[in-house]
Chain A
Amino acid sequence: MNLDFSDEQKALKDQVRRFLEDRGGVAQMRAVLTSDASYDKDLYKGLAELGVLGAAIPEEFGGVGLSHLDLCVVAEELGRVIAPVPVASSIYLVAEALLQAGSQAQKQAWLPRLAAGEAIGAFALNEGEGRMGPEKVRASVSGGKLTGTKSPVADGDCADVAVVAAKSDSGKVSLYVVDLNGPGVERRTLNSIDPSRGQAALTFTNAPAELLGGEGDGWHIATQVMDRAAILIAYEQLGGADRALEMARDYALERMAFGRQIGSFQAIKHMLADMYVSATLARSNCYYGAWALASGASELPVAAATARVSASQAFQHCSKNNIQVHGGMGFTFEYDCHLFYRRANALALALGSVSTWEDLLVDRMTAGNAAAAA
């Protein structure tokens, strides 16, 4: 048994960390947050040149052909600096959807461009408030033309291509590839709790759409893709949780009150210990997820939901208590605490809310039990 990353993967992690810190670390996120830019173009280009965007994309499609474990360590580093780049949408979701269900032509058309950062992908599933499910898909395709509205779509404001869930001619939920630079696409940028990651409403009016995977397989493929993305996003959440904990720890060491370091008070110390516990449990669950993702184990759905719930909560817990440890300063715009708080709460909703994933986890565990009992 070996529940750890390889030395090569750890070296890659260090390399990505240095690269991101050299570029300014969290300052990049703040820059995007306070500007009109929807993401950091230079940083994204740099990540492409470093080969990390294409880490898990096969070489025949312009990628580097490493494993998903490599992509996990990259994700953790992106999460540590809450990087303002559309990696999750473009790589974890759209590239994965193409890899899982795309035709040879679709893969060839988009994967090399996604790996090179020349094109950005967005995963357009959600419609309306409340928990998303196949029954809520109203967007529809008729004669190869898509009509409907998807909102919010992460990185929909800057994406070149979208994978969209819509009803087919015969009313079955299916996935479609849509060129967002083509006709019939209208984008509206949305304000959000985390403007460092753009959100948009995409309205399609007879936009040309190409079926991705089998007709009627849309929800099934989307679920598989989101399970895989959930593990990668969990790594981003893990990186963010760890960094928020470190910020709180550093501040507790530096800040004096009542004549002593505030970290010497048990009220603060125990809060930090509990943050460490959440982050550690999440890390262990993420390792389980990474193993399942890389090995294609049948436990992948359970592992994905476990990592997702655990890491979402750890990041939310660490980022909110990071503000608390910082006291009033933590609530200033100037301090970075709110950047992590914003990202934590936005990521907790990406791919569906935590309660949605709790539900999925129980479904999957009890299905396993029923199968074992049968």
Chain B
Amino acid sequence: MDFEDTPQEAAFRAEVRSWIDANAPKHLEDQLKRANFGDIGITSEDPIAACKSWQKKKADAGWACLHWPKEYGGGNRTPMERVIWNQEEGLFRALGGLFTIGQGMCGPTVMAWADEEAKRRLLPPLSSGEEVWCQLFSEPASGSDLAGLRTRAVKAEDGSGDWIINGQKIWTSGAQNSDWGLLITRTDADVPKHKGLTMFYLSMHTPGVEVRPIKQANGQSSFNEVYFTDVRIPDAQRLGAVGQGWEVSLTTLMNERLSIGSGMSTGFPSLLSLCMDVEIDGKPAVQDSNVRSKLAQFAVREMGLKYTGMRAITALSKGETPGPENSIGKLVAGATMQDLAMFALDLQGQSGVIWEKDGPSDGRFQAILMRSPATRIEGGSDEILRNIIGERVLGLPGDIRVDKTVAFKDIPTSGRKH
């Protein structure tokens, strides 16, 4: 039981630290420090270009996608080395946000299911950030119930073997910046819903693909709607067999959980500072007993998350595979950051309503307040995560489903009640 590096890890850390020190875009440091939740905060230059430039620099030096094999643009490093890199990259990790979905979810899916030629074509530019990917899964009528999706893929009638796609995806993070998309479609509506799905990848520049940013509740537009109108995809861009799409999608979703050790923060250190700065009855808020009790509650959650992450890293370093128990991170972080933001605004008093970069606490709690509802929904809602913990960690039975053995076309939907 210790927090020390092994000699090899220490040597690796030193190497990483000196490379980052010599190469990181330090001119962006101040802006990144003041970045708020949901906003990278770079205004001095094009933020997308800044992200791509740092990623390319890392890739050229062999520091991109550390855990991937070298032939696909990776660093062929151990999970522990990847964790050390992440720790050392620190503030500059925010510049990797643009690539998280591509490298964390699409890449591993391509690696598991594509042929060798496609892997060598697609993965290196994904690693280097020259090509950005998005994940085209959720639809207006299928969020938590992903397998209920309705975007259709039909064989072209010209005998080319191509597929023609029609439908709509939604909540696609980063689609507006993406070159490629991982697309799950329905190819057979006459079989039960999980069995009629097929996975493809496609260029987001293909004719008939239209990306429309969604104006979100917090005023930003990081999510999109993506429309497909007679989009033609060659059969060679299919991943897995026809009808095997659900199985392929599980690779993607499993990899979502592998992105552990990133240590989701709840904003606790900022809250502690706030409590020492703002006053209640002429005394620092931190001296108020109600405030202290709440602070302690946030502290044990923040630390519980931190050390849960470290235990997961320890398991990873011993060769264990992270499992569904890692669902706990986002479940706790999302709800905690939302509660924490509300509490912070309460301490700011009437000024808490102000959301300005030069306003109370640089507007950071207001940004958390307005962004955190999405955290509790994206990548598995709180309710889905509780199902995962209940069923896959604790071994409880699944809910009784009325649609499991029914042909997809016969399932009642919001627009088609039985």
Residues of A participating in the B interface, judged by any CB pair closer than 8 Å: 1-6, 69, 245, 249, 252-253, 260-261, 263-266, 268-270, 272-274, 276-277, 280-285, 287-288, 290-291, 294-295, 305-306, 309-310, 313, 355, 357-359, 361-362, 365-366, 369
Q: Is the CB of B386 within 8 A of A270?
A: yes
Q: Is the CB of A281 within 8 A of B308?
A: yes
State the Cβ distance, A213 to closest chain B Cβ, in Å.
29
Q: Is the CB of B304 within 8 A of A284?
A: yes
Residues of A within 8 A of B311 (CB): 3-4, 283-284, 287
A328, B405: Cα distance in complex, Å: 36
A281, B310: Cα distance in complex, Å: 12
State the Cβ distance, A315 to closest chain B Cβ, in Å.
13
A366, B318: Cα distance in complex, Å: 36
Question: Given known contacts A276-B328, A362-B296, what 18 new A-B pairs fall within 8 Å (CB)?
Answer: A3-B1, A261-B396, A264-B397, A266-B387, A272-B389, A273-B389, A280-B325, A283-B308, A285-B304, A287-B307, A287-B311, A295-B1, A310-B303, A358-B292, A358-B296, A359-B292, A359-B296, A366-B276
Residues of B within 8 A of A313 (CB): 300
Q: Closest 4 CB pairs between A and B?
A: A281-B304, A358-B296, A284-B307, A269-B390
Look across to chain B and name the residue whose beta carbon is closest to the beta carbon of A368.
Answer: B272
A263, B391: Cα distance in complex, Å: 9
A125, B297: Cα distance in complex, Å: 27
Q: Is the CB of A272 within 8 A of B296?
A: no
Q: Chain B, interface size: which category?
A: 35 or more
State the Cβ distance, B386 to closest chain A Cβ, in Å.
4
Q: Is the CB of B3 within 8 A of A3?
A: yes
Residues of B within 8 A of A272 (CB): 389-390, 394, 396
Residues of A within 8 A of B299 (CB): 306, 361-362, 365
Residues of A within 8 A of B385 (CB): 273
State the Cβ distance, A369 to closest chain B Cβ, in Å.
7
A69, B389: Cα distance in complex, Å: 29
Q: Which of B5, B301, B394 contacts A249 (CB 8 A)?
A: B394
Q: Is the CB of B272 within 8 A of A253?
A: no
Given A272-B394, A281-B305, decide whether A309 and B300 contact each other with a Cβ distance below 8 A: yes
Q: Is the CB of A276 within 8 A of B387?
A: no
Which residues 35-67 of B have a CB within 8 angstroms of A? none
Q: Which of A1, A309, A369 contacts B310 (CB 8 A)?
A: A1
Residues of B within 8 A of A6 (CB): 1
State the Cβ distance, A94 to closest chain B Cβ, in Å.
25
A355, B290: Cα distance in complex, Å: 10
State the Cβ distance, A143 to closest chain B Cβ, in Å.
40
Q: Is the CB of A270 within 8 A of B390?
A: yes
Look across to chain B and name the residue whose beta carbon is closest to the beta carbon of A266.
Answer: B399
A130, B317: Cα distance in complex, Å: 47
- 7 A-B pairs in the complex with CB atoms less than 8 angstroms apart: A4-B311, A266-B387, A282-B304, A309-B297, A310-B303, A366-B276, A369-B276
Q: Is the CB of A269 within 8 A of B396?
A: yes
Residues of B within 8 A of A294 (CB): 1
Residues of A within 8 A of B395 (CB): 249, 253
A281, B299: Cα distance in complex, Å: 11
Q: Is the CB of B307 within 8 A of A3?
A: yes
Residues of A within 8 A of B293 (CB): 355, 358-359
Q: Is B22 located at the chain interface by the 8 A CB criterion?
A: no
Residues of A within 8 A of B396 (CB): 249, 252-253, 261, 263-264, 268-269, 272
Q: Is B289 located at the chain interface by the 8 A CB criterion?
A: yes
Q: Is B400 located at the chain interface by the 8 A CB criterion?
A: yes
Q: Which of B272, B307, B313, B317 contacts A288 (CB 8 A)?
A: B307
A355, B386: Cα distance in complex, Å: 29
Q: Is B115 located at the chain interface by the 8 A CB criterion?
A: no
Residues of A within 8 A of B313 (CB): 1, 3
A313, B394: Cα distance in complex, Å: 20
State the Cβ distance, A202 to closest chain B Cβ, in Å.
31
Complex interface bits, B317-342 against A, C-beta within 8 A gives 1, otherwise 0: 11000000100100110000000000
State the Cβ distance, A249 to closest chain B Cβ, in Å.
5
Given A1-B310, A306-B299, decide whether A263 and B3 contact each other with a Cβ distance below 8 A: no
A20, B230: Cα distance in complex, Å: 68
Residues of B within 8 A of A283 (CB): 308, 311
